[in-house]
A and B are shown apart, each in its own frame.
Chain A
Amino acid sequence: MLLEVENLHVHYGNVEALHGVSLMVRQGEIVAILGANGAGKTTTLSAISGLLRSSAGEIRFEGRSIHKTPAHQLVAMGIAQAPEGRRIFGTLTVQENLSLGAFTQTDRVRIAKNLQWIHELFPVLAERREQLAGTLSGGEQQMLAIGRALMAQPRILLLDEPSLGLAPLLVKAIFQTLWEINSAGVTIVLVEQNAHAALKLAHRGYVMEVGKIVLEDRAEVLLANSQVRDAYLGG
C-alpha cells in the first residue's frame, strides 16, 4: 500500500472538519475524492501533504507514519501537490516556477530529463518558458501547477480541483495528460467537483459528505450508482 489514511480528524480551531476519514491508495492508481463544497476534500488533501496538522488519526506513506512530518520533507519523500487555486508564482517566469518544483532535487541530469518530459506533456510550458506565469491563461496556469509538482519527481501526485474554472475542452486535455502521467508510473490522488470527468479517469473513487467518507468503490461502479448520479452528475 502506497498511502494509507486511518481515522483522520482535523480541526480548524474548535470546529472539527474531518470526523475520521479513512482511505487508501495503491501504487500506480488514480484515486478520485468527490464531494460537494465543504465536504472536506481539500482538508483531507492538505492533511496528507502536511500543510495542515491532523488532531487525531494516522497517515502512512509506504508504511511509514508521516502525519507529523513537515510538508517540505514530504516533498523530498515523494509526495508532491498542485494545491487548490494553483498557487503559481505570478511574478516569476514559467521556467522559474518549474525550477522551484525541483528545489528538493539535486541530480541535475535527472532534473533536465524530467523537465524535458514535462515539456512533452505540456508543450505550451516550453513555448512560454520566459513568460511571467501570471500572464498565462487559467488552463496554462493549471498545467504549470501540475508541471511544477512533477518537477519534484514524486511517487504520488496530489491534485486539488485541476478542472476548476476551466473550459470543458481544456479539462478534457488536462485529464488526458493526467492519464499519461499515471501511465509513466506516478500515482495520482485527485480531488474534484467535476465528478463525471474524475470518475472517467480514476480507477477508484471516494465520496465525501460533511467530513466523512460515505461511499467508496471502483470508478465505473460509482459512475453507475444512482445516488452519485443524483447528487453529483446532474441526474
Chain B
Amino acid sequence: MNRFTSFAVALFVALMAVAPLFLNAYHVDVLNSIGLYGLLALSLNLILGEAGLFNMGHAAFYAMGAYTAAILNTRYQIPILWTLPLSALVAGFFALAVARPVVHLRGDYLLIVTIGVSEIVRIALVNDVFGITGGANGIFGISRPELFGFVIRQPQHFYYLIWGFVAFTIFLFLRLKQSRFGRALNYLREDEVAAEGSGVNTDYYKLAVFGLGAAWAGMAGTLFAAKMTIISPESFSFWESVVLFMIVILGGAGNVAGVLLAAFLVIGLPELFREFSSARMLVFGLVMMVMMLVRPQGLLPAKSRQFSFAELSNKGSFR
C-alpha cells in the first residue's frame, strides 16, 4: 500500500465512523443498504471475482440465510444474532449441495444453472414449502437484534452493526486473498486446466469457494432480516442477483475496494437522485453501458500480486 492509498483508506474509515452523527435517518438507512449490498457483493466477489465462477443466483443463498434466521427467531425465539452461524451453515451447505453436480460446468453454462437454482428457491418460498416460509407474505415479527443487552433499533445502531460486519469481512477476505487458498482461486480463474495440471485440486477449491461465498451471503441475509423485521420472497428476486453481479463486474472483479465503490454507486446513486423518479433508472442504464465500453475491466481492476524478489530467493518464502 502506498502513501496515497493508505491516506485514502484512513480518510474513508474516519468518514464512515462519524457519518451517522451528521446524516439524517434516511441517509443512514441508505448507507445501511449499501453496507448490506457491499457485504453480498464481497461474498459474490470471492466466487465470481477471485475464482471466476459465473454465479448469477447469489440471491438464493442470501434468501436461505434470511429465512433460516427468520424461522429460527420467530418459531423458536432464538435471538437473531445467534442465528448468524446457523444461517451461514445452512446457506453454505445448500450451496455445496447444488454446486456439487454442476461446478465442473464452465462460464455461461454455470450461469444458467445458478439462475435456475435461484428461481427454484424463490418459487419454493412463495409456495410456502414445508409450511414454514409464510408464502408470498413472507415472515414478519422478527425480533430486534440485541448486543450485550443493548437492543438495536434505530438506523444509526444498525449502521454500526452492518458496517462493523463489513469491516470484519474486508479484513478477512483480504487475508484470504493473500493466502494459498486465494492464490489457488486466481489460478483457477485464469486457466483451469493449467491449474489442475500444476497440482491444484480444482474441484475442491471451486466447491470450497462456492460454500464460503454462500455462507457469507447467508449471514448478510440474517442482518437483512434483523434490519427489516419482515422478509418476503420479493426481496430475493432474480434482479437482486443481477445487481450483485453488476456490482462485482463494475467495481473490478477481484478488487475489494472496487467492489465497495461500485456498491456505493449502484445502490447509493439511484437513492440520491430519487426526485428524478423513473428517469434515474434510464440514466443509470446508460451509465452502465458507457462504463462497460470505456472501462470494461471495472472501476478499480484487480492488481497482480507483487513479490519482492530478494525476499523470495533469500528466504524462499513462497506461500
Contacts and interface: CB of A to CB of B under 8 A. Distances in A.
Q: Is chain B found bound to chain A in the same assembly? A: yes
Contact of B199 (A89, A103, A115): A103
B278 interface: no
Nearest to A77: B199
B57 to A, nearest CB: 27
Contact of B318 (A70, A76, A108): A108
Contacts of A93: 304-305, 307
Interface string A176-209: 0000000000000000000000000000000000
Interface string B285-319: 00000000000000000001111010011111111
Chain A interface size, as a band, is 35 or more
A75 B316 contact: no
Given A93-B307, A95-B307, A115-B313, A87 B196 contact: no
A111 B313 CA distance: 9
A149 B199 CA distance: 10
A100 B190 CA distance: 12
B269 to A, nearest CB: 30
Interface string A65-80: 0000011110110001
A91 B253 CA distance: 14
Contacts of A111: 316, 318
Contacts of A104: 198-199
A29 interface: no
Given A51-B193, A83-B193, A93-B304, A101 B198 contact: yes
Contacts of A49: 197
A108 B190 contact: no
Interface centre among B193, B198, B200 (most CB of A within 10 A): B198
Interface in A86-101: 87-93, 95-96, 99-101
B187 A89 contact: yes
A178 to B, nearest CB: 18
B74 interface: no
A116 interface: yes
Nearest to B202: A72
B281 to A, nearest CB: 34
Interface residues of B, number: 30
Contacts of B180: 103
B199 A51 contact: no
B195 interface: yes
B191 interface: yes
Contact of B196 (A72, A76, A108, A116): A72
A24 interface: no
Interface string B175-218: 00000100110110011011111111110000000000000000
A13 B309 CA distance: 46
Contacts of A96: 183, 304-305, 307
Contact of A87 (B184, B186, B191, B202): B191
Nearest to B302: A91
A89 B194 contact: yes
Contacts of B186: 92
Contacts of A105: 318
Contacts of B191: 87, 89
A99 B316 CA distance: 11
B312 A81 contact: no
Contact of A108 (B184, B198, B316): B316
A92 B199 contact: no
A42 B10 CA distance: 54
Interface in A40-69: 49, 51
Nearest to A76: B199
Nearest to A129: B309
Contact of A72 (B201, B307, B317): B201
Contacts of B195: 100
A148 interface: yes
A130 B303 CA distance: 13
A224 interface: no
Contacts of A101: 198
A116 B312 CA distance: 10
A115 B201 contact: no
Interface of B: 180, 183-184, 186-187, 190-191, 193-202, 304-307, 309, 312-319
The 3 A-B pairs at the shortest CB distance, nearest first, are namely A112-B316, A75-B199, A104-B199
18 contacts: A51-B196, A70-B201, A71-B196, A72-B196, A83-B197, A88-B194, A90-B190, A92-B305, A93-B304, A95-B309, A99-B183, A99-B319, A100-B183, A100-B187, A104-B199, A105-B318, A110-B316, A115-B316
Interface of A: 49, 51, 70-73, 75-76, 80-81, 83, 87-93, 95-96, 99-105, 108-113, 115-116, 129-130, 132, 148-149, 152
Given A108-B317, A112-B315, 9 more contacts: A49-B197, A71-B196, A87-B197, A92-B190, A93-B304, A100-B198, A103-B200, A112-B318, A130-B309
